[in-house]
Amino acid sequence: MKINELRTAFEQKANRDNAQHMAKYMRNQFIFYGLKTPQRKEIYHDFLKNEKRKKQIDWALLDQAWQDEHREMQYFVYDYLLAMKKYVSYEDLFRIEKFVRTKQWWDTIDALMKVYGYVGLRDARVNDLMLQWSIDPDKWVRRVAIEYQLLRKERMNTDLLAKIIENNFDSEEFFINKAIGWALRDYSKTNPEWVKRFIEENHDHLAKLSISEGSKYLRV
């Protein structure tokens, strides 16, 4: 699939009313075609199946899609990467970093984070990278580091989780404090004792939002 073919397919399914609502939901930061998720994914479903057979990532296509002004193009990029995650190497993460650092908002950040998390299960070097990212000046980069181990369950590296959160203690940034809460809440389903102890020991450095989110499934 060429970038122009993808644009044409999106344009043919465009919905102006949906586009206006979607843009408003994202605080009018991005332009939309107005494609809802099932409709968008249907457009490139067969293409992604074929890409999996090739086992080779088309980075040129991803770069072109990311540069497009329509938000659905960025969604295509992360859907592509998630579909091809088996073929993403540690070195490839530095290609993906430009997606993390541009056109940022929670929608793309929380999706791209999953790619880093998947690669991290195969390559421990990602842990060190996330530790570096946890002190990055960019809040969205730090959010990736904080959420990096979501859904790890028994495979959670608690020392890494603690250190990354500690690097973001006393934050006044909503998206950072929300991410801390989500990370703690998710792990509390597996190890509530650890999360409860961590919150108790660091209560004075955690935002109320982080504590309320992180405590959601803990027994009071």
pLDDT tens track, the chain, 220 positions: 899 999 999 999 999 999 999 999 999 999 999 999 999 999 999 999 999 999 999 999 999 999 999 999 999 999 999 999 999 999 999 999 999 999 999 999 999 999 999 999 999 999 999 999 999 999 999 999 999 999 999 999 999 999 999 999 999 999 999 999 999 999 999 999 999 999 999 999 999 999 999 999 997 5
User: Is 93 within 8 Å of 116 (Cβ atoms)?
Assistant: yes
The CATH 1.25.10.90 portion of the chain extends over 1-87, 101-220
Specify the pTM: 0.94
Q: What are the helix (H) ranges across 101-207?
A: 106-122, 125-133, 139-147, 158-166, 174-188, 192-201
Structure tokens at 33: 């075609």
In CATH, what class is 1-87?
mainly alpha
CA–CA dist 165, 67 (Å, integer): 32
pLDDT number for residue 220: 55
The domain 101-220 having CATH identifier 3.40.1190.20: the answer here is no
Return the amino acid letter for 35. Answer: L
CA–CA dist 22, 150 (Å, integer): 26
pLDDT number for residue 217: 93
User: Is 100 within 8 Å of 144 (Cβ atoms)?
Assistant: yes
3-state secondary structure of 31: strand
pLDDT number for residue 80: 98
DSSP β-bridge partners for residue 201:
none
pLDDT number for residue 219: 73
User: Is 40 within 8 Å of 75 (Cβ atoms)?
Assistant: yes
